[in-house]
């Protein structure tokens, strides 16, 4: 603990630009705990360091600036991969390269700055620590809804390197995991006894995960599943001269996968895998049906609605070539799929009005398949918003095209989010990604099968059965919100009592 005390004194002494630079560095350090690195122990320095910097300022405003700079470093390094997408269209959007990620990081940093500023007003010790933890997690939730929401990289996702530490998400969701993470890694600020208590808590956390994972596995469902990963580079994906070749690749891989699986199966293609409009193109659907030999194919496809607006869709093509069901993506990507009305500042980043959104989470009932809850691309990052609770499906499917982001951290972070949805909802999840990472997870978040980035091929796997509805599937984020509010009440009450005792 002597080393820890020495570090604490050094951090408290940092003033002016040195304090801000230190906060940025600590935030960047915390980003190493995110997928795919998962260097979780760095939080033992980064999180206490943030609170030490904030708590040693002379005012709440100074504490808020420390939180802002920490959040800026965390998101700048955690979201660097967004630049990969811009570079694909660098000829048109080159000017965004030095602006996009820093600008987004500035916005995201506000959700750390406010908790740091408010927590400064709480009494030092456990009141400030727990108050900050509660505020931090409420901030994570808030950034999931403000300006259409971007809840990427919640702190709880650092545990997605395996299924063990993810299991409490079935009760409290990813934001509950964030809260638990903050408490565990801030505890050493109160000395070695609290650090030991945090270590014991982490052991209990792992024990609960082990008990849940040791429970009997649910039986597999029929049919099995074939996931097709076409591995089409983004800069070639919409080349008109290559569209037919891309389509044939998916047909060939589909037939190959069905030969391998050796049982009735459902086939899943990634987001916009079909270059043809499957809701209208009868010939394309018949070709898919022929390649699938009667199996149903869930294929990503663009379609146009009655108002001639494009929609990012998932089409269920059955064995007779019919479009038996369609899901339209509801949570669209701002600036990528549509131009937000609140950001019309003379710079148009999408054509026309962009894509039209669908109605929200639905359950598709396709003949011969268990009811399925679909999501497209980054819809999978919205905890509690991927399943129609009134019509609970038997499994989930997430189709995406992460080719935009190359072999960066982005696809790994996206995969972690999808995995967390499986644990939260107690439902198996099948993920088809154009260039990877495609995977099948069971209802406890264990990897059944996986195909890495840059690979062309198929996954063939049994479709795991679902578990009974989890606490999270029924209560959503209520548990995490309630726990955060209890911490805030505790922090406020203790602060008021301490101040009253001093006056008395």
The residues annotated as belonging to the active site are 271, 329, 377
Helix (H) or strand (E) holding 153: none
What sign for the dihedral angle of Cα 388, 389, 393, 398? Answer: positive
Residue 310, strand partner residues: 304
Terminal CA-CA length for the chain: 35
**454 touches 436 (CB < 8 A):** yes
Residue 452 CA: distances (Å) to CA of 152, 231, 433: 21, 10, 10
**399 touches 270 (CB < 8 A):** yes
Radius of gyration of the CA atoms of the chain, in A: 24
Rounded Cα–Cα distance for residues 159 and 167 (Å): 10
242's tokens: 């290559």
What sign for the dihedral angle of Cα 81, 24, 107, 348? Answer: negative
- At residue 39's C-alpha, the angle toward residues 35 and 45, to 5°, is 125
**430 touches 462 (CB < 8 A):** no
Residue 485 CA: distances (Å) to CA of 28, 67, 85, 211, 308: 28, 20, 38, 29, 46
What sign for the dihedral angle of Cα 204, 172, 29, 160? Answer: positive
Q: What is the maximal distance between C-alpha atoms in the chain?
A: 84
- Other CB atoms within 10 Å distance of the CB of residue 94: 11
Residue 133 CA, chain-centre distance (Å), reads 20
**367 touches 318 (CB < 8 A):** yes
Beta-carbon contacts of 388 under 8 Å, excluding residues fewer than 6 positions away, are 361, 362, 363, 373
**432 touches 229 (CB < 8 A):** yes
- At residue 51's C-alpha, the angle toward residues 46 and 52, to 5°, is 95
Rounded Cα–Cα distance for residues 72 and 419 (Å): 26
Residue 223 CA, chain-centre distance (Å), reads 28
Rounded Cα–Cα distance for residues 141 and 111 (Å): 10
**319 touches 292 (CB < 8 A):** yes
């Amino acid at each position: 603990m002597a080393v820890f005390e020495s570090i604490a004194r050094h951090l408290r002494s940092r003033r002016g630009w040195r304090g801000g630079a230190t906060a940025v560095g600590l935030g960047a350090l915390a980003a190493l705990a995110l997928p795919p690195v998962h260097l979780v122990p760095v939080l033992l320095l980064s999180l206490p360091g943030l609170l030490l910097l904030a708590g040693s300022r002379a005012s709440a405003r100074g504490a808020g600036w420390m939180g802002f700079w920490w959040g800026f470093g965390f998101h700048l390094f955690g979201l660097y991969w967004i630049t990969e997408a811009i570079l694909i269209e660098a000829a048109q959007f080159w000017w965004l390269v030095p602006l996009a990620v820093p600008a987004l990081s500035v916005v995201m940093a506000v959700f750390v700055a406010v908790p740091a500023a408010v927590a400064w007003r709480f009494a030092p010790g456990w009141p400030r620590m727990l108050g900050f933890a509660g505020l931090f997690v409420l901030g994570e939730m808030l950034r999931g809804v403000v300006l259409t929401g971007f809840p990427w990289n919640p702190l709880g996702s650092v545990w997605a390197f395996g299924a063990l530490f993810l299991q409490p998400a079935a009760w409290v969701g990813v934001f509950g995991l964030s809260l638990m993470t903050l408490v565990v890694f801030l505890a050493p600020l109160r000395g070695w006894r609290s650090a030991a208590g945090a270590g014991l808590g982490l052991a209990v956390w792992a024990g609960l995960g082990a008990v849940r994972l040791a429970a009997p596995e649910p039986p597999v469902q029929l049919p099995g599943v074939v996931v097709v990963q076409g591995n089409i580079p983004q800069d070639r994906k919409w080349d008109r001269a290559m569209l037919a070749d891309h389509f044939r690749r998916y047909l060939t891989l589909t037939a190959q996968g069905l030969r391998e699986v050796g049982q009735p199966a459902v086939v899943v293609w990634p987001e916009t895998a079909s270059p043809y409009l499957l809701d209208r193109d009868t010939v394309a659907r018949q070709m898919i049906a022929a390649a699938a030999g009667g199996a149903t194919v869930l294929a990503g496809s663009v379609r146009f609605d009655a108002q001639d607006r494009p929609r990012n869709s998932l089409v269920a093509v059955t064995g007779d070539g019919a479009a038996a069901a369609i899901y339209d993506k509801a949570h669209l990507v701002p600036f990528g799929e549509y131009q937000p009305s609140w950001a019309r500042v003379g710079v148009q980043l999408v054509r026309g009005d962009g894509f039209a959104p669908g109605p929200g989470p639905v359950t598709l009932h396709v003949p011969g398949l268990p009811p399925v809850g679909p999501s497209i691309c980054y819809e999978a990052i919205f905890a509690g918003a991927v399943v129609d609770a009134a019509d609970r499906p038997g499994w989930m499917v997430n189709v995406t095209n992460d080719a935009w982001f190359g072999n960066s951290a982005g696809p790994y972070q996206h995969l972690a989010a999808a995995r967390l949805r499986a644990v939260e909802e107690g439902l198996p999840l099948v993920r088809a990604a154009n260039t990877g990472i495609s995977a099948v997870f069971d209802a406890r978040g264990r990897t059944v099968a996986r195909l890495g980035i840059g690979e062309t091929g198929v996954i063939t796997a049994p479709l795991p059965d679902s578990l009974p509805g989890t606490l999270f599937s029924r209560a959503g984020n209520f548990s995490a919100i309630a726990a955060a509010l209890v911490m805030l009440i505790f922090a406020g009450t203790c602060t008021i009592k301490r101040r009253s005792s001093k006056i008395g």
